[in-house]
Structure 1
């Protein structure tokens, strides 16, 4: 299925709620009704709305979106503000995003040991920043900054870092974060449902007052985020495309992160003004989806957020764009592989154009049977191509993307994309496609919105984009009313010579901004202190929430096919979708050709259907198939509408039994693999987390490097790969089914999944041995602003008894906003945007556990970052209050966790690999309850302290601080081709 990004489309037709899902029929009446609850609060509801939304508007204008789902005792919470980077002052771009960061710093009650004294320093810092902003003399500007640093240190004597994060963690919250975009800033938490009262108290206090404490250290974290953006070529393409689409509107002229110049010269006055103007109840929404009671919840929200004062609100009038009358050309450069984007500006969300562009988009690319899918991807005439729409409050845009195959130019890819658009304009698609793509959207919405977070996202979009929920419910029905003639007429009017084409070329980016290390003095964290608010907060008792552990042997039912193949199943109580997996307990470790053959199957047909026709037949049924080869497993899967399972399985088995080798398709497939490898090795994420990580763990003899070379691939007869797929059916296998009507599913398997003779045992799997770590620094040169480091130490073999302690350790020490590592590296020392550490348990009982740490920082902060991380990894700070909070948070997270739906089976599969045959969370929960700080220190001393690390580093060689790395071991520079074994000659320098 095609993935639609959150900001692209926020339509919804039917959804899982509680234990029952209904599907909105086009014949059902869908209309908005006004109702009152038992407390007398008025709310809107939409008849036949499967989401069960109640939309309240409090007297102060606050919008409240509530929906009930009792699958788990949790509530997804969002607090949304209709204000983003569009409204940044022109001389303070990045303001809305930076304000988002500062809202985590507390209020005059949260995060302070003495507000009156702290306020004096904060006021002084604000004055100094205004002087700093106005000053033009470089030396005087630096002197003012040093004074800011000095006063900030003094102010930190009265601040208490991360109190907000500590309190959300103490609730057992997960996903504590926020995001800012053009038109919104949204704050997120997922909380246990029994903690709603405390969460409302905390959030209503949080948004009551803005205090810009620890301002200059957080600003450095934002600079690190800015640097990460400079190292991201995808963002560069995105910004360049928007610049072309919107030459006057903030969409194209003000990035959310802001300009470097404005980040260097912030104004605390501007930030306060922005907060007081837009962070008001009549410009905000509270969204809650989960295990809640409508009537009591809205009453509690009114008692907290209802106290906020309504204010007059005006949003600025933003510029209107002139029509684009000829192609606009943009170019960006960077180290990653070449890429092209072609984008057309559209009308805004909630417009008629939104419906037509959405439908055009799915006709063009739906991941299966669209024009781009079949003509370009299926036929392998480009490396990869797709398209997606985005709709915002003022405008939208439809973006087409493509990657060239080997020897192909970006202009050739562009021409091929435009050629597909011409086919759309000529109506060269079949009549059934409109209904099929709408049904596809229905399917994807069902899958996407089966969880609380996705539904809450849809409500946030409805608020931000001023959507009438009734219209959202009707959206897909409206699409079905569009005729092919109307769509073709629209395409001819819309897709003209009015696009923005952006070329992403390989090469040096001349626009990179280098940021100096300001030499910030580490501020005090005051871990041992607590505000009066925190003390009272911790004394409040919530209703207890007892954990729920699962009996896998009862929850996973068993039956058999007529041929005696075992079928495990879990009933789907929510909707009429199914997921069927035929599982082979062998994978790439058993035969490297399995993965190759699985990928090849996508490009071939049978004696009855061409490859394109196969895709169309599956698409008509609303069914997906997939063949996926992992290291030790291979899955042949089918999923979609339950009623079409028999036909879908029949079609899959036909392909399985009758696939025909195609030499031309195979030759293109090998070319695609070669180009894919060349593209992947240009991505810094792949280099660090695949190449360097694998080398640090296994050395030369790793799965990653144990590949078939291109010359070897070219000699393979594709008939051999087809036989590999066909022969798989003769190996031992088992089946997992998630859905309704198990008897019908087994009957379909008996009718179509024919097995003859005795099933074969699996071929022996190749083993890859983990190397000992320590004394090595593996380095790869890459053109980037930041330097990223990964520390890896091999620990002892997996032990189930370590699971409880390691889980608590990770919460306390290395993971999350309130962890020791995050506080020290980012909050106190401003050395990174992202820093974490973990004790990572093995995935198989025969493998080892690992200690891991990561930090990404400016190259000129490398030495400080290395020293800070190594100090922490050898000397864990002991903070009793923080330990108790981490322990409480860990217990609450386990108590609120529910293993449901198909995850019952897949979680059991993961546990069996570790030699565990029960829900081990119960033993973990009971162990953690009795753990002390001394127990955690003992775990640290035994498993983390003094470990010997392999250090993997990626960064720009000319900026590399060699001396700081030499402290960690012998530096070895590894060539990218050597890391991935893409060449026969080893390229290694010492």
Structure 2
């Protein structure tokens, strides 16, 4: 009964939603029109008729595009600054340049982040000159000598800089999500800011994008190397790169990765980076997107007063190579430790082409997560472990990718043939006539949900800019799809899907292409964290309008009624649209009954007397309604969502399945095989090993919820009928309902009619309790073929105390989370020991459970001893920096002030509070406590709760590279077998050994 919805094409790959071809423009002229307006301040802007997003598109005199839209759900603004330039334009001899430039834009300017620019710039020029010498040198000894000089001069330069000053300023605004990304055709910078801080943010960003200053260059370059290593440890990225290389033998899509080559990263040019910035980071090649609680007229005026001052110049984008048609299948192989899979990709034309519309429809008919050909024929029938497809569209080309993971008894070629077989069904028109309309309705439903979210809508706007799209075509796009007939689609499929694909076999084995990167031994640079530039002083003096926090009165915000049988219904009105969500909640889960999760997932593959499993999926898809069940440790929910008008029919279908599901022995045997293969696949994923397996073992030891599972042999012995009866029997237990949507009376009426219950509901079975292990003195290691080593430090603390929530919130902001935190600055910015490093005091989610302190480092194995010393030093002796503390305090307060709990969040937040034994919105107490906190208070919290903590240390890495002598200083090192870690196979002896 669990519903897994496929990520739709414009959610997964935002670039795919836009169309700009002339044919489409003519088609939609009478339906959707772009109109010109002038506001009260004299600024002209464009709108599109029938646009549900209410976009106003401005163009400043210097060419900057400004996308504005209102969303008043919270007093925040999602911001993006987008540049039409990415890795496609990297010089062939310096790939990775655009991405590295993105990193450097965070380093400040001649005003931001400097203590004495006149002195600092002399050193930066020396460093630039040395890098040119380094690039030109041909022998390694000379390069090493020059690098040592770069390291020496960089240390001197750091005396005149302030690390992360930009990050400190945006943090002081209360910004969240501060980040950036680079891809083929774009570099995009993002922040989500409180609405009252817009003017300060605009002032800061306009200065940031006015010039480029390459300070702290060699330490950040080492961080990029760590990012490069993470890519080498990511088999998905390897498959992706191999597929693109086959699809695009000439175009940069396939010939230049965004991260760049290892050799190019070792030989950067600061001159080339400056040239790239000067060429492409100009107003007419950039766009600003602001979606949130804004006043249109006031906002555009402020944008013009800041970004309107940037000087423009003509931008010429290079002409990129064209590709010859692919006339026969191209095969490639990729090796790595993760489970085997296969990828098949067909090259398409790019955004605005006929291919975009038709491939979009083909993709959804093949795999929409519910009723597509692949969904029903391969996944529902459990013919493969899993399979799907998704399209991507870029400026010059696109591609439609099919992926499949084999069952334990399948070859990759068998999965390939099955995927191609589904394409053949599409080409023969073997899908029902109603599918096109249902697909378009599904896409409309997803778009409606997307447009409710400020961040998702803002991303759609910046993609429109990056891909030269007229928003008019986005508004009309789905209507264009409805005009495509089944005959049209079948004809297209027969022309498009031929022997013109690239197939990538992902096999398990050693990857011999791995680039080994040595530890350069960088001298830690000075951070000057307690100093600030004149710019920061002036910035801190700028005033913003006051923004007061708002807290929720849950008694008023959550309404209540009852069903005829007495079941309580909590409900919240949805004022925005005609979508609904309904949850039937049981306050019991896998801890109450070990079989519950197993039974719930099995129901997914069953039908009833009235419908087969496949027919049920089709009926739900026709209605635009989704059903699913979730089972956690202490809660199970049966849920329904979609179009409100179809709630009664959807509920009737769900109740029919719930009441009349028929056991199927063959489906159960396949289900057990799928579980078995899933376990084998899981233990090949390093993320699952660290964050699931090792994390759980560090918390519980051997007796953990994760390890309390049935063996495959035990699963095979179970009677499928017992599992079906368990799900049917859920109705006899106590339950409650949460409804979000319009017309609660209609929802209650539907429940009264369809959701039949016994007169007396029974209590839940007693839950199994799992004892938390004491931490300290243990190092748990799992061997894995990887370049990096990843470490997790975990310390058990006292039981949850709500009085600690304020201090822990401020501690995390100051010490361990974010780009300007102490941990990030010390380990990445100063010492270049990791790409990712963070720490947190984690409050328990349940009353009586312990809090935890944890820290994470992902680094090259040969840097691990240094990284461990650095992290443990910080966890034992927290550096005190008053300026940084004040910024973190401001940030914590402003984030609470700008936070609004609304929509379904009201209910789920209240649920989480109740689990902690709290019956009200305690953010008011947290806010008031933080307001009065001092550095001394934070130090006391650190000394009492963190300073003397004892850690279990979990490590995953290549045993040939890991320094076990260094690890042994942290405790007794034990290597854990992965099967033992997850308890996938029973063993007479514990599969762990001391090292």
TM-score class normalised by the smaller sequence? over 0.9
Residues 225-284 of structure 1: CA distance to partner in whole angstroms, max 9, x if unpaired?
000000000000000000000001000000000000000000000000000000000000
CA contact (8 A) 1:627 1:636 kept: yes
Distance 1:971 1:3 in 2: 42
* Structure 1: tracts of 5 or more residues without a match: 14-25
CA contact (8 A) 2:592 2:768 kept: yes
Deviation at 1:524, TM superposition (A): 0.1
Distance 1:627 1:90 in 2: 51
Residues 16-58 of structure 1: CA distance to partner in whole angstroms, max 9, x if unpaired?
xxxxxxxxxx999421011111111111100111100001111
Match of 2:837 in 1: 835
Distance 2:948 2:270 in 1: 43
Pair 1:2 & 2:6 matched: yes
Pair 1:793 & 2:800 matched: no
Match of 2:102 in 1: 100
CA contact (8 A) 1:28 1:48 kept: no
Distance 1:818 1:908 in 2: 31
Pair 1:350 & 2:355 matched: no
Pair 1:290 & 2:279 matched: no
Distance 2:139 2:672 in 1: 60
CA contact (8 A) 2:16 2:392 kept: no
Among 568, 573, 576, the alignment partner of 1:574 is 576
Following TM superposition, the consecutive aligned residue runs of length 4 or more in structure 1 with deviations greater than 6 angstroms are none
Match of 1:74 in 2: 76
Distance 2:364 2:227 in 1: 34
Deviation at 1:71, TM superposition (A): 1.1
Give the 3-state SS of the residue equivalent to 1:326 in structure 2: coil
Deviation at 1:449, TM superposition (A): 2.6
Pair 1:703 & 2:705 matched: yes
Pair 1:917 & 2:922 matched: no
Q: After superposition, where does 1:692-731 map in structure 2 within 5 Å? A: 692-731=694-733
Pair 1:851 & 2:870 matched: no
Deviation at 1:2, TM superposition (A): 2.0
Distance 2:347 2:527 in 1: 48
Among 561, 564, 570, the alignment partner of 2:563 is 561
Give the 3-state SS of the residue equivalent to 1:367 in structure 2: coil
Pair 1:256 & 2:258 matched: yes
CA contact (8 A) 1:11 1:473 kept: no
Match of 2:148 in 1: 146
Residues 524-557 of structure 1: CA distance to partner in whole angstroms, max 9, x if unpaired?
0001111110000000110000000000111000
Give the 3-state SS of the residue equivalent to 1:562 in structure 2: coil
Q: CA 1:128/1:801 → structure 2, altered by over 3 Å: closer, same or farther? A: same
Deviation at 1:10, TM superposition (A): 4.7
Residues 184-210 of structure 1: CA distance to partner in whole angstroms, max 9, x if unpaired?
000000000000000000000000110
Match of 1:638 in 2: 640
Q: After superposition, where does 1:857-936 map in structure 2 within 5 Å? A: 857-936=859-938
Residues 604-654 of structure 1: CA distance to partner in whole angstroms, max 9, x if unpaired?
000010000000000000000011111100000000000000000011001
Match of 1:22 in 2: none
Give the 3-state SS of the residue equivalent to 2:756 in structure 1: coil
CA contact (8 A) 2:696 2:706 kept: yes
Distance 1:12 1:631 in 2: 39
Distance 1:27 1:298 in 2: 28
* Structure 2: tracts of 5 or more residues without a match: 19-27
Among 51, 54, 57, the alignment partner of 1:52 is 54
Paired residues in the alignment total: 979
Among 332, 336, 339, the alignment partner of 2:338 is 336
Residues 456-513 of structure 1: CA distance to partner in whole angstroms, max 9, x if unpaired?
0000110001111111100000000000000000000000000000000000000000
Distance 1:234 1:172 in 2: 35
Give the 3-state SS of the residue equivalent to 2:525 in structure 1: coil
Match of 1:231 in 2: 233
Match of 1:19 in 2: none
Deviation at 1:9, TM superposition (A): 4.6
Deviation at 1:4, TM superposition (A): 2.9
Match of 1:196 in 2: 198
Q: After superposition, where does 1:734-749 map in structure 2 within 5 Å? A: 734-749=736-751
Give the 3-state SS of the residue equivalent to 1:510 in structure 2: coil
Residues 801-855 of structure 1: CA distance to partner in whole angstroms, max 9, x if unpaired?
0000000000000000000000000000000000000000001011000010000
Distance 2:820 2:432 in 1: 55
Match of 1:132 in 2: 134
Give the 3-state SS of the residue equivalent to 1:449 in structure 2: helix
Distance 2:353 2:491 in 1: 17
Q: CA 1:213/1:958 → structure 2, altered by over 3 Å: closer, same or farther? A: same
Q: CA 1:939/1:897 → structure 2, altered by over 3 Å: closer, same or farther? A: same
CA contact (8 A) 1:578 1:738 kept: yes
Match of 1:415 in 2: 417
Q: After superposition, where does 1:385-464 map in structure 2 within 5 Å? A: 385-464=387-466
Give the 3-state SS of the residue equivalent to 2:322 in structure 1: coil
CA contact (8 A) 1:11 1:475 kept: no
Residues 936-972 of structure 1: CA distance to partner in whole angstroms, max 9, x if unpaired?
0000000000211000000000001011101100000
Match of 2:940 in 1: 938
Distance 2:512 2:316 in 1: 40
Distance 1:413 1:308 in 2: 54
Match of 1:40 in 2: 42
Deviation at 1:11, TM superposition (A): 6.5
Deviation at 1:107, TM superposition (A): 0.2
Distance 1:582 1:447 in 2: 22
Give the 3-state SS of the residue equivalent to 1:762 in structure 2: coil
Give the 3-state SS of the residue equivalent to 1:286 in structure 2: strand
Among 327, 330, 333, the alignment partner of 2:329 is 327
Distance 1:760 1:845 in 2: 24
Distance 1:765 1:448 in 2: 38
CA contact (8 A) 2:438 2:621 kept: yes
CA contact (8 A) 2:158 2:527 kept: yes
Distance 1:521 1:30 in 2: 60
Give the 3-state SS of the residue equivalent to 1:729 in structure 2: helix
Give the 3-state SS of the residue equivalent to 2:548 in structure 1: coil
Residues 285-344 of structure 1: CA distance to partner in whole angstroms, max 9, x if unpaired?
000000001111111111111111110110110000000000000100000000100000
CA contact (8 A) 2:34 2:472 kept: yes
CA contact (8 A) 1:217 1:520 kept: yes
Match of 2:502 in 1: 500
Deviation at 1:723, TM superposition (A): 0.1
Distance 1:384 1:29 in 2: 41
Distance 1:116 1:510 in 2: 48
Pair 1:763 & 2:768 matched: no
Distance 2:563 2:56 in 1: 46
Deviation at 1:60, TM superposition (A): 0.8
CA contact (8 A) 1:7 1:392 kept: no
Give the 3-state SS of the residue equivalent to 2:960 in structure 1: helix
Distance 1:29 1:476 in 2: 12
Among 211, 214, 217, the alignment partner of 1:215 is 217
Among 265, 268, 275, the alignment partner of 1:266 is 268
CA contact (8 A) 2:53 2:451 kept: no
Match of 2:597 in 1: 595
Q: CA 1:103/1:7 → structure 2, altered by over 3 Å: closer, same or farther? A: farther
Match of 2:89 in 1: 87
Distance 1:878 1:609 in 2: 66
Give the 3-state SS of the residue equivalent to 2:92 in structure 1: coil
CA contact (8 A) 1:391 1:397 kept: yes
Give the 3-state SS of the residue equivalent to 1:568 in structure 2: strand
TM-score by length of 1: 0.98
CA contact (8 A) 1:224 1:857 kept: yes
Distance 1:210 1:675 in 2: 51
Among 247, 250, 268, the alignment partner of 2:249 is 247
Pair 1:65 & 2:67 matched: yes
CA contact (8 A) 1:12 1:445 kept: no
Distance 2:453 2:365 in 1: 27
Distance 1:489 1:28 in 2: 28
Match of 2:973 in 1: 971
Deviation at 1:216, TM superposition (A): 0.1
